[in-house]
């Protein structure tokens, strides 16, 4: 069988490409596919316990069976992000963008007269990291999967915390010092629901959405260390999101 394989962040640099196709024997599992690449790229094998994988844009266990035509992605710890807006509706704005994030404009789209609160979180590019002066950042994402996971987060923010409307927007590409990298905005009738939903939104986005950050300094560049996404059984779920 033939499967499409995607690599992101430093994994892409190790194998020298962002996309590949692999021929595997019938009955092969995700672990078998990674092992085959690890044998060709020993540095890649060293990431086995700090990365996760997805099959067809859904986080998957290493024992997951593969089928012809599957899209497999190997994902380093996420450091959370492009195109046009992917989802925009009255209750949720979910976007990956390359232009500046327009906080006031996006927030205005969420508010209705029934709202009594709006909470806005903006992640800002700092001028230093671990004591080193930062020149600029670059973000990349597994875009289709990132948007899918962001939709799930938005739905949980509304169903679990009682938020009326939410926005999750992430920049991709090059960002300068002081620019907004991520926006979370939440409206609700009361402030408590908005605050709780907003915190859940940014914490879950940072830990589960496949977005990676590369930091550039005077003396080089590094991929920022991130969080390993949880196992599929522990990820946020909602039956209303397809």
Mind listing the pLDDT tens digit of every residue in the chain (242 residues)? 999 999 998 899 999 999 999 999 999 999 999 999 999 998 888 887 778 899 999 888 888 999 999 999 998 877 654 333 333 334 789 999 999 999 999 998 888 888 899 999 999 999 998 889 999 999 999 999 999 999 999 989 988 998 999 999 999 999 999 999 999 999 999 999 999 999 999 999 998 999 999 999 988 998 887 655 555 555 565 544 43
CATH 3.90.1170.40 residue ranges for the chain: 87-234
Distances (CA, A) of 209 to 24, 146, 170: 28, 5, 11
Phi, psi values for residue 214, rounded to 5°: -115, 130
Q: Decide if domain 87-234 falls under CATH 3.90.1170.40.
A: yes
Return the CATH number of the domain spanning residue range 2-75.
Answer: 3.10.20.30
CA pair distance 39, 215, nearest whole angstrom: 29
Phi, psi values for residue 67, rounded to 5°: -135, 155
CATH 3.10.20.30 residue ranges for the chain: 2-75
For the sheet with 2-7, list strands across it: 19-23, 2-7, 71-75, 52-55, 58-60
pTM of the model: 0.70
């Amino acid at each position: 069988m033939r499967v499409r394989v995607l690599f992101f962040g430093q994994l892409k640099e190790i194998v020298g490409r962002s996309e590949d196709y692999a021929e595997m024997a019938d009955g092969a599992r995700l672990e078998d596919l990674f092992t085959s690449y690890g044998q060709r790229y020993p540095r890649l094998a060293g990431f086995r316990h700090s990365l996760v994988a997805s099959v067809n844009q859904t986080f998957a266990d290493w024992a997951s069976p593969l089928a012809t035509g599957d899209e497999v992605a190997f994902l380093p710890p996420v450091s959370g992000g492009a195109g046009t807006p992917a989802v925009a509706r009255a209750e949720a704005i979910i976007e990956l963008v390359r232009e500046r994030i327009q906080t006031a404009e996006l927030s205005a789209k969420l508010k209705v007269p029934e709202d009594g609160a709006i909470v806005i979180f903006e992640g800002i590019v700092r001028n230093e990291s671990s004591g080193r002066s930062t020149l600029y950042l670059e973000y990349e994402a597994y875009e289709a999967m990132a948007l899918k996971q962001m939709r799930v987060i938005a739905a949980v923010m509304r169903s679990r915390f009682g938020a009326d409307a939410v926005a999750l927007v992430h920049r991709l590409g090059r960002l300068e010092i002081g620019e907004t990298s991520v926006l979370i905005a939440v409206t609700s009738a009361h402030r408590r629901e908005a605050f709780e939903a907003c915190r859940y939104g940014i914490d879950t986005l940072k830990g589960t959405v496949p977005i990676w950050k590369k930091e550039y300094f005077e003396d080089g560049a590094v991929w920022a260390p991130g969080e390993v996404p949880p196992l599929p059984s522990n990820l946020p779920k909602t039956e209303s999101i397809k």
